[in-house]
Amino acid sequence: MKKLILFPLAIFLGGCGGEQGGNGNNANASTETLELLDVDDPKVFAEVLAGSRDFVKLELRNVEDEEILYSREKDALFTGWTKVMFNSKQPMVLIQYKDGKEHGHYLAWHENGKKERQSTHREGKPHGRYTIWNRNGKKSLDGEYSDGVKTGDWNAFYVDGSKKFRQTFQDGNFTDAISWKPDGEKCPVTNFANGEGVWATYHQNGEKAEEGSYAYGKREGLWYRWHDNGQKSAEGNYLNGKQNGLWNEYDREGTPYNIKNFIDGERVDE
């Protein structure tokens, strides 16, 4: 069920979505654009929710390293809407599938009823606008996918809605970036253009969160991370965009408490 997990924003920041299926939807994976239902229309939304299937009653299977959704009763590829509900009976996630793959809408909500995510997929790949909101209803991340790769400007925001950073992608390659402190000051450390340079981000309280270098649009060399109290939280190396070698972790008092070893982005058991 890992496809339904809404990952923390930090994961999207470092690298950086879901949907379609039956119930009357007209999405067509063979066309350049998706034909999508107006899920903001209360009547349409009510019909989608009523006709959706509980995700736990379906089955995800790994087929050639790709997760495909099946109907258990028919032992067939699933086409339609799936849902996961909060205990309050309010929707947590609604996803469209076609022939076992996410194709169309991916919608998610916070438990307070505020929208958390709205995005679209085509044949299992993120395609189109991808937006995430905080629990307070403020936008936290917004960008565009094209056939599974990021394109154009991706903008992130602090909890109060102020600008956090802008990343620019061309054909999936990270080419340019600007970041801001929570008070609106342009980051004096970030100096990034044409896929090269230094990148830094900040916590909501203004303390630095992360800093390191990029080469050819990928993380490279020594990177540092800090807790929101200013104490270092981790340091280690990247090689060609993947964690590599020993990574040291520190608690909020700055005391070392863990060492992890990575090879080509994969953690190595000691």
Per-residue model confidence as pLDDT tens digits over 138-196: 999 999 999 999 999 999 999 999 999 999 999 889 999 999 999 999 999 999 999 99
Per-residue model confidence as pLDDT tens digits over 208-239: 999 999 999 999 999 999 999 999 999 999 99
Give pTM, 2 decimals: 0.82
Per-residue model confidence as pLDDT tens digits over 64-105: 999 999 999 889 999 999 999 999 899 999 999 999 999 999
Tokens of 6: 């809404």
37, burial (CB in 10 Å: exposed 0-12, middle 13-18, buried 19+): buried
Our measurement of the distance from residue 32's CA atom to the centroid of its chain's CA atoms, rounded to an integer in Å, reads 23
Per-domain residue ranges of the chain? 1-134, 158-270
Q: What is the pLDDT at residue 270?
A: 62
Rounded-to-integer distance, Cα 7 and Cα 43, Å: 30
Question: Do residues 119 and 90 lie in contact, with contact meaning Cβ atoms separated by under 8 Å?
Answer: no
Q: What is the pLDDT at residue 11?
A: 35
Please compute the mean of the pLDDT values over residues 27-38 and round it to a whole number.
59
Per-residue model confidence as pLDDT tens digits over 239-265: 999 999 999 999 999 999 999 999 999
Lowest mean pLDDT among 14-28, 111-125, 148-162: 14-28
Q: What is the pLDDT at residue 246?
A: 97
Tokens 């609106």 locate to 184
Rounded-to-integer distance, Cα 174 and Cα 153, Å: 10
Q: What is the pLDDT at residue 263?
A: 97
Q: What is the pLDDT at residue 171?
A: 84
Q: 10 or 190: whose pLDDT is higher? A: 190
Share of the chain above pLDDT 70, in %: 87
Would the pLDDT of 34 be above 80?
Answer: no
Torsional class of 91: left (φ above 0), alpha (ψ -120 to 50), beta (otherwise): beta
Task: Please report how many Cα atoms fall inside a 13 Å half-sphere around the Cα of residue 154, on the Cβ side.
Answer: 27
Q: 25 or 51: whose pLDDT is higher? A: 51
Would the pLDDT of 59 be above 80?
Answer: yes
Tokens 């917004």 locate to 142
Give the residues across from 212 on adjacent strands. 199
Class of domain 158-270 as given by CATH = alpha beta
What confidence tier does 16 reach under pLDDT thresholds 50, 70, 90? very low
